[in-house]
Structure 1
Amino acid sequence: MHIQVVASPPVPSQRRSLGYRPATVAPPARPRIALARLSLTGAAFGAVFYCLSFTPSLLPRVWFLQGMVAGVTAAMGYGLGAALGALARRFRGPMRAPAARIAWAVLAITVPVLVAVFLWLGTRWQQDLRIRLGMEPAPDYDIARTVGVSLLTFLVLLGIARLLRLATHGCALMFRRVVPVPAAYCAGTLVVALLSYTAFDGLLVANLFAMADRSAAVVNNGTGNGVTVPASHLRSGGPGSLVPWDSLGRQGRAFVAGSPSTAELTAFAGRPAAEPIRLYAGLTSADTVEERARLVVREMDRTGAFSRSVIAVFTPTGTGWVDYKVTRSLEYMYAGDSALVSLQYSYLPSFFAFMGDRSEVADAAAALIGAVRARWAAMPADNRPRLLLLGESLGTYGMEMTFGTPEALVDGADGALLLGPTFANPAHRALTEGRAPGSPIWDPHYPQLPVEFADDAAELRDLTGPRPKVVYLQNATDPVVWWSWDLLWQKPQWLTGKRAADVTPDMHWYPGITFWQITCDLVFSNKVPTGHGHVYKSETVDGWAAIAPPPGWTTQDSLRLRALLDG
């Protein structure tokens, strides 16, 4: 019989005597986060997003802005791809090594070719946009600078993202001592997210607004070159004025001092002209917006403004600025027989005023328009001047909030001209949504009311039928008009069907990307020729002529005046 003897394992004392050593277990490798390799799916999505960032939007972009757009867009794509890749690995396991090597090889071959193609197409698209808008072509070497800025932007954002991920991992290591690993990572993610939001909102955003406020306050206290205290009693801040010159603010001082001379008005009109009246109240002219509005009306009584042929109430932009070509256009048309009034409600740029507290412009517009209308309405209907209203950009929002509905806006004055309305405007939204079937969103037709829209001011010269009382000028390439939150997830109607002449047929909507591109267009929306972007200037001549032309005014007069203002 065969007997098998199985040796029993040595006891611990025997192990030590026999020279046994306990097997060492390697500690789990620390995940490489800050210096980890790029994610495969992240790189693929980042490359696609990078290429799409070069597709055209409404306005051409300068090289450094295009570089930042491309870098941020690529980072957005990389983050999305990396998240999707992590989810796939979670549920399906990691990709096998041979398949991963093949995928990386495919990316290494296709991405450079794809990027090169889109760089070439992007350059062509940008040049086409410049030609379409009447701008000079950009230098060919701008593309190299664009690529450099885009790579730097992407690397900075990737570094920040990995530092946040590293912080999340560090928090999770502390939490896993008391809770399971999944809960620890959830808690770490929540802590880092809250700290990041607090730092972003409390430090970056708050300081950004604070810096903007301080900078705007300093600018507001200054005076533009060539602007001097008026010698005329027909201007706020001048002799006998109830408004001190120092209280007008920078834009108010420019407003009252920017009128053409009587000689210039006479030369254009071909007959003796009157001296225009310009009145303004700054932020420190009175304690409250209602007091400032009443102060303007007292100034109007002092200067005899209600005896002029036309009174125009301007709701300015955030800084209190009113475009000098907009104001001069009406003074030239009426040979100085006019009174222009305005009121400052902020010294912040329109973007900060719009994103911060829109109630300021609404309150200011309601106070000034209400005070002037009350005094004007008390006059005999057959012996009072024309009352015109104008708002530009954020000012259009204040005007519309004053009246609320399109019907009230039509009945609010003898005429209203709105330049570059925002997506938040209630009357504009109601008119656009209720437009006649078949009329495009960029040039809607609303037959129920005397309201006219124009994406090209020249269209207003050929109007037939009753004269409109409200005119909207909204350039087809104005990002202020077409920017809205739903661009993130919904294709806009102005990119569907027939497009406006200025909008390139090469522009297409991509979720998230188009919103980001239009947002960046806002930065340089005032750096394009008149009639494009957010630049209206001499276009207001055709707007005024459509609403309230002086007796005998002709299209040739409009062309002469536009040439004078643009000269």
Structure 2
Amino acid sequence: MGGTLVAVAFLCASLSPSLLPRPWTWQGVVAGLAAVLGYGLGSAISAVLRRIFGLIPSPRARRVAWRLLLAGGAMVALSVLWFSADWQREIRLSVGMDPNIVWFIPLIALVALATFTVLLALARAVRLGTRKLIALLGRFVPVLVAKVAGLAVAGFLVAVFASDVLFAGFVEVMNNTSSLANGSTSPGVHAPASSRLSGGPGSLVSWPSLGRTGRDLIGTTPTRRQLSTFAGRPAKEPIRVYVGLDSAPTMAEQVRLAVRELERTGAFDRPVLAVMGTTGSGWVDSDGADALEYMYAGDTAMVAMQYSYLPSWLSFVVDRTKAAEAGRALVTAVEARLATLPADARPRLLAFGESLGSYFVEQGFGGDLDDLLSATDGVLLAGPPNANPIWRSVVARRDPGSPEWRPAYQGGKQVVFGQTPNDLADVGRPGLVYLQNASDPVVWWNPSLIWRKPAWLTEPSGPDVAPAMRWYPVVTFWQVVVDLTIALSVPDGHGHRYGPNLVNGWAAVAAPPDWTPADTDRLRTLIQYR
């Protein structure tokens, strides 16, 4: 009975708002998962109360309690399920989406029931197997020893199966699938004709070795004509250097190849050189890359490298150390090459990273704020994962009274956080700008959501977070996990989409001397509607 009671409570909590609007199918899965977790927790609490404290209700009390629970639980669950449609409309309004949706309440209930049934059957199969194992061991050793040993063996086997079979198999499938995708090329993307771009004439890096995301970045570089039209003056061909995972056999050789390619293209003669942090698959947000080139009429150079085939979210789980190693290796090599130039002849060193790419950048500069600021002339990081070391340190030491979703740090002299263009207006020239949307699950996902209410929900909620969102133990964690899968399914400026706001970020940290707010508005329009 205790398991059913907590299961109903968890199911109802899972129907409450989270950061982003969910499809009805995902809502059903989340509800079923929450219910089975609640069932397990409630059953465990009931077992403790029975066996340790001897709290065993009478048969009559149990019958009455079950009737009340089944009737009351069904009414409460159906009522909350009905209200969940209004909550989803509220979330959609918060992130600038059409609130008119069809919310398939009966189908949500069926998906939730199916998910609950399957997961509960698996859990009971494990429990049955554990009991049989304990009974078998009990023939040879004392009962207490058999129980301890049986539980330990069962726990070990489940952990090994989950980690080495299910998860490892999933990672292998994803890696193979991503490797195949890495060999493909997006429609409309072609090898460049410019020698200033990796994969072009005279390049030390072959076009096929760039990988899909590398070819996307190189193959969509703005042309000199496009840059000139925007700038109103002759533009230069921008330099983009990219080294794919297949461009060299080891990371060290990738880095050496990247520096040689920078030298070949004349990157160290440009006024601006940007290190572009990549996600697991090697992706760089083209909005961030293009905005910098338009801002400087193409008189820029940028370098990026791929270190994995996996998508960003999976790479964050299994390849995070590779991101740190790649970031540090590339930054160290670029800094070493810059150190050979006269101080007055070095380009301004900028850095950009989005999502796991921001982790790449932070770790590339040693995970220390002072080192990052002293080594660079401007850094723009968007959608930083909660594990970013510099981000965590700055947010933890934010000025008193500033919320976690929009922290102020030392009055904004060196570090500024923003979500909207107004947040970045009149901020002077900080060394580091973080773009973070209050509704971005990438920023807020953390295992501690299981047991601790986060500060970003303790304080007044952010501008695009539904006011009705609440924290529930265990449940909110899984809600935000689901939000991660749909973080890009919302308009720019919400979720994990930063789009034209990257223009305002660059304008804050690295605008050229003659740049004006009107130029920022023109470039925002170009990036948003091209």
Does residue 482 in structure 1 map to residue 406 in structure 2? Answer: no
Alignment partner of 1:414 out of 372, 377, 381: 377
Map 1:31-42; keep pairs closer than 5 Å.
Answer: 40-42=1-3
3-state SS, counterpart of residue 136 of structure 2: helix
CA contact (8 A) 1:285 1:292 kept: yes
* CA deviation after TM superposition for structure 1 residue 93, in Å: 5.6
Residue 182 of structure 1, CA deviation: 4.6
Say which SS state the counterpart of residue 92 (structure 1) adopts: coil
Asked whether the 8 Å contact 1:435–1:445 carries over to 2, the reply is: yes
C-alpha distance in structure 2 between counterparts of 1:194 and 1:346, whole Å: 30
Residue type matched to 2:13 in 1? L
Identify the match of residue 405 of structure 2 among 442, 458, 464.
442
Q: Do structure 1's residue 425 and structure 2's residue 408 form an aligned pair?
A: no
Of 153, 173, 177, the residue aligned with 1:191 is 153
1:287 aligned to 238, 246, 249, which one?
A: 249
Post-superposition shift, 1:286? 1.9
Does 2:448 correspond to 1:509?
no
| In structure 1, distance between residues paired with 2:461 and 2:44 | 37
1:60 aligns with 2:21: yes
| Inter-partner Cα distance in structure 2 for 1:143 and 1:453 | 43
Q: Which runs of 5 or more residues in structure 1 are unaligned? A: 1-39
* Aligned twin of 2:39: 78
The match for 1:15 is none
Find the aligned partners of 1:241 and 1:51 in 2 and give their Cα distance.
58
Q: Which residue of 1 aligns with 2:12?
A: 51
Name the aligned partner's letter for residue 241 of structure 2: L
Following superposition, the deviation at residue 366 of structure 1 comes to 1.5
- Name the residue aligned to 1:312: 274
Matched to 1:149, the amino acid is: V
Whole-angstrom CA distance in 2 between matches of 1:430 and 1:454: 14
Q: Pairwise mapping of residues 149-548 of structure 1 onto structure 2 (< 5 A)?
A: 149-403=111-365, 404-447=367-410, 450-464=413-427, 466-548=428-510
2 CA distance for matches of 1:412 and 1:144?
58
Q: CA deviation at 1:95?
A: 2.2
Give the aligned residue type for 1:394.
L
- Deviations 1:22-68, CA, capped at 9 Å, x for gaps: xxxxxxxxxxxxxxxxxx11111111111010111111111111111
Aligned counterpart in structure 2 of residue 561 of structure 1, from 498, 523, 526? 523
Distance 2:155 2:503 in 1: 52
Equivalence for 1:135: 97
1:345 Cα deviation from its structure 2 partner? 1.2
Matched with 1:6 is none
Decide whether aligned partners of structure 1 residues 297 and 457 sit closer, same or farther in structure 2, where only a CA change above 3 A counts. farther
Distance 2:456 2:258 in 1: 41
Which residue of the partner structure matches residue 100 of structure 1? 62
Q: Secondary structure at the match of 1:436?
A: coil
Q: Distance in 2 between matches of 1:428 and 1:141?
A: 38
**Which string of whole-angstrom CA distances, capped at 9 and with x for unpartnered residues, describes residues 290-318 of structure 1?**
32222222212212222223221101111
> CA contact under 8 A between 1:457 and 1:543: conserved in structure 2?
no
Give the conservation status (yes or no) of the 8 Å contact 1:89–1:95: no
Q: Contact conserved, 1:311 with 1:340, CA < 8 A, in 2? A: yes
Is the contact between residue 89 and residue 101 of structure 2 (CA under 8 Å) also seen in structure 1?
Answer: no
- Cα deviation for residue 219 of structure 1 reads 1.0
**What is the CA–CA distance in structure 2 between the aligned matches of 1:371 and 1:51, rounded to whole Å?**
53
Write out the 4+ residue segments of structure 1 that deviate beyond 4 Å after TM superposition: 180-183
Contact 1:443 1:453 in 2 (8 A): no
Contact 2:399 2:411 in 1 (8 A): no
Q: Structure 1 residue 87: deviation in Å?
A: 2.5
Equivalent in the alignment of 1:31: none
**SS of 2:410 mapped into structure 1:** coil
1:110 aligns with 2:72: yes
| Percent of aligned positions that are identical | 47
CA distance in 1, matches of 2:329, 2:131: 55
Does the 8 Å CA contact 1:66/1:146 hold for their aligned counterparts?
yes
Larger Rg: 1
Kindly report the root-mean-square deviation, in angstroms, between the aligned alpha carbons of the 2 structures.
Answer: 1.8
- SS in structure 1 of the partner of residue 165 of structure 2: helix
Q: Deviation at 1:425? A: 1.7
Residue type of the partner of 1:266? S
Which blocks of at least 5 consecutive residues in structure 2 are unaligned? none
1:125 corresponds to 2:71: no
Separation of aligned partners in 2, 1:331 and 1:42: 59
Q: Which has the higher contact order (CA 8 A, sep 6+)?
A: 2
Q: What does the per-residue CA deviation read over 1:59-95, in whole Å, with 9 as the maximum and x for residues that have no partner? A: 1111111111100000011111112222233242642
3-state SS in 1 of match to 2:18:
coil
CA distance in 2, matches of 1:369, 1:448: 29
- TM-score of the superposition, structure 2-length normalised? 0.95
Q: What is the CA–CA distance in structure 1 between the aligned matches of 2:134 and 2:500, rounded to whole Å?
A: 61
In structure 2, give the amino acid aligned to 1:74. A
For residues 442 and 173 of structure 1, the distance between their equivalents in structure 2, rounded to whole angstroms, comes to 53
Q: What is the TM-score of this pair, normalised by structure 1?
A: 0.89
Shift of 1:416: 0.7
* CA displacement, residues 437-463 of structure 1 (integer Å, 9 cap, x when unaligned): 122222222227743333413134422
Residue 500 of structure 2: SS of its match in structure 1? helix
CA distance in 2, matches of 1:181, 1:301: 72
CA contact (8 A) 1:460 1:543 kept: no
